[in-house]
A and B are shown apart, each in its own frame.
Chain A
Amino acid sequence: MKSNLSESTFERWFYAANAVILIVVALICLFPFYYVFVVSFASPEEVRQGGLLLFPKTWTLDAYRYLLSTNTFLKATGVSAFLAVVGTFCSLLITSMLSYGLSRKRLKGRRPMMLMILLTTLFNPGIIPGYLVVRDLGMINSIWSLIIPVLTSGWYVLLMKGFFDSIPASLEEAALIDGSNEIGVWLRIILPLSLPSLAAFGLFYAVGYWNTFFTAVLYINTPDKWPLQILLQNLLIDSSTAMGAVSDSSLQDVPSQSKKMAAIIVSTVPILLVYPFLQKHFAKGAMVGSVKE
């Protein structure tokens, strides 16, 4: 009896300590967001003097007003939005088509196709050979170089194929007997069934395209085609050196911390907006997968 009691006190402490630690972890994750948010509304003087910690004395929209009035920023946002919308659509299309086809047993030559895709997940030839292919295709400095070379990956195809594997072939056969043709089956049965899973993949693609940076470092060399992340790099990281490349003269002076923070907020808000919406689909997609088995 006594040992039982001490164990339950131990457990109570265990649960309490556990919860407290996790709250601290969550706060550590949140604090930079909060700090960025607060500074973006503060006056630059207050930040410079170091008075600001948790709450600014005066709130101002100056940084945002300034940012949204500069052409360069709006243009780069437009490029990234284009990538996120068009790129995600193309990626979902090509990935779902390929993985669905590979999941159907009546497709001849599945094995060599699968082997080829597995091979690409095992061995990565490096940056330069891929760069040379893109260059030889004449895609350097084209906005499509930020989409086409990264349309899909072996991992994505294997993952999505795993999902399509769970759709039984008997389902299509029934529809085919009912007089639908193959394209009708694909459009009316397979795609609606896989919508939650496609939404989850879409989240990852969209965020990936919105955050496009590395491919732009490689392939884009004129500021008018910069995606948002490259502009942010100039603004946040080498604001004193590289801004000379920006034709928009208003951005050429070293931006204040408030302007930098406002740029971070504006570039992050789209991610925050889709996050909860797609999280719901993400959970649903996982559930659909488990119910099927």
Chain B
Amino acid sequence: MTTLRTLKRDLFLYLLVLPGLLFFLVFKIIPMWGIVISFKDYSPYLGLWKSDWVGFAHFDRLFSNPDFIIILRNTLAINVLSLLFFFPLPIVLSLMMNELRNKWFKGSVQSIIYLPHFLSWVVIAGISLIMLSESEGIINHLLAAAGYGRIDFLTNPDYFWGLLTLQSIWKEVGWGTVIFLAAIAGVDVQLFEAAKLDGAGKLRQIWHVTLPAIRNVIIILLILRIGHIMDVGFEQVYLMMNGAVSEVAEVFDTYVYRTGILQGQFSFSTAVGLFKSVVGLVLVILANRLSKKFGEEGMY
């Protein structure tokens, strides 16, 4: 009786959460259950239930495929470059922005460097193509005018990974400072004053006060980043890929798209995606354990 009464009282609350729960059920939970097709030979005519079980056949096919090594290499190379060159930059940048004393100046810098984050990859790829074009791009016009040879930025496989890294830096580094600036803003001002009284200069204050204060945020972001080591933004690669660079450009997501959506090999491509997701999940858990072992908070 009482449960019935509380149910009736809170009916409105249940109605509020219903559509959202339904959404998560249909578009997030059912797909999780849908990964069983990676252990089946899914045929659209037979449907999910009647398709035959094949065990790990699709995974065997993936691991024995020469494409696999290439895709793994490309994915890891792009992500290692990003970890080395992209990841530290927002930290450095937010430390620098925190030292700006003029509020108006700081606000303007923030407004400007956040902006590229809101552009689509289509626009960024489009701008890159135009600015870096071998025959018409401004960069090559400048190189030519300065007496250097023109460079085939867009079609030379040697430049492709670097190009992706630079694009990501231009688009996301500014936005990446948001979370660090928020963490720095939470630092007690008295700590800086105490450090100053103890004779610490600017650099020592940054090293001994600001950095430790944001250490936990850095570690959480690093854990998340490591969990994404198998992910490369589909849109960016898909748009920048061309015939000349496909050998260094194919990554897991573009491969899943090509074999799954374009060629209709739903079971095989689901297996590829599942492999990627499982590795990501394992890496997050490992990174989290590791950070706890070293006395950090971790995130779970």
- Chain A positions near chain B (C-beta within 8 angstroms): 7, 10-11, 14-15, 18-19, 21-23, 25-26, 28-30, 32-33, 35-36, 39, 47-48, 50, 52-53, 94-95, 97-102, 104, 106-108, 113, 116-117, 119-120, 122-133, 137, 148-149, 151-152, 154, 157, 181-183, 186, 207, 210-211, 213-214, 217-218, 229, 232-233, 235-237, 257, 260-261, 264, 267-268, 271-272, 275-276, 279, 286
Q: Select one of B17, B28, B100, B234 contacting A97, CB under 8 A.
A: B17
B interface residues, Cβ below 8 angstroms from A = 6-7, 9-10, 12-14, 16-17, 19-21, 23-32, 34-35, 37, 93, 96-97, 99-101, 105, 108-109, 111-113, 115-116, 118-123, 125-127, 129-131, 136, 138, 141-142, 144-145, 170, 174, 182, 201-203, 234-235, 238-239, 253, 256-257, 260-261, 266, 269-270, 272-274, 276-277, 280-281, 284
Q: Main SS of chain A's interface residues?
A: helix
Determine if A233 and B6 form an interchain contact, defined as CB atoms under 8 angstroms apart: no
The answer for the CA separation of A32 and B238 in the assembled complex, in Å, is: 21
- Would you mind naming 8 contact pairs between A and B with Cβ atoms under 8 Å apart? A18-B100, A25-B109, A94-B19, A98-B19, A116-B24, A125-B274, A131-B261, A229-B122
Known: A50-B144, A157-B20, A186-B12. A149 touches B27 (CB 8 A): yes
Query: Is A18 touching B17 in the complex (CB atoms < 8 A)?
Result: no
- A98 & B138 in contact (Cβ 8 Å cutoff): no
Majority secondary structure of chain B interface residues (helix, strand, loop or mixed): helix
Contact residue among A102, A120, A217 (Cβ-Cβ distance under 8 Å from B238): A217
In the complex, how many angstroms separate the beta carbon of A80 from the nearest chain B beta carbon? 10
Bound complex: CA A229 to CA B144 (Å)? 33
Q: What residue in chain B is nearest A157 (Cβ atoms)?
A: B20
Complex CA gap A224/B16 in Å reads 35
How far apart sit A102 and B17, CA to CA, in the bound complex (Å)?
A: 7
Q: Which of B17, B35, B120, B122 contacts A129 (CB 8 A)?
A: B35
Contact B34 A125 (CB under 8 A): yes
Which residues of the partner chain B approach A181 to less than 8 Å between Cβ atoms? 12
Cβ-defined contact, A130 with B111, below 8 A: no
Contact check, A101 vs B32: say whether CB atoms are below 8 A apart. Answer: no
Apart from the given pairs A50-B141, A125-B34, A207-B118, 11 other A-B contacts in the complex at a CB distance below 8 Å: A14-B99, A48-B136, A104-B13, A128-B34, A129-B270, A210-B120, A232-B122, A233-B239, A236-B123, A237-B122, A257-B130
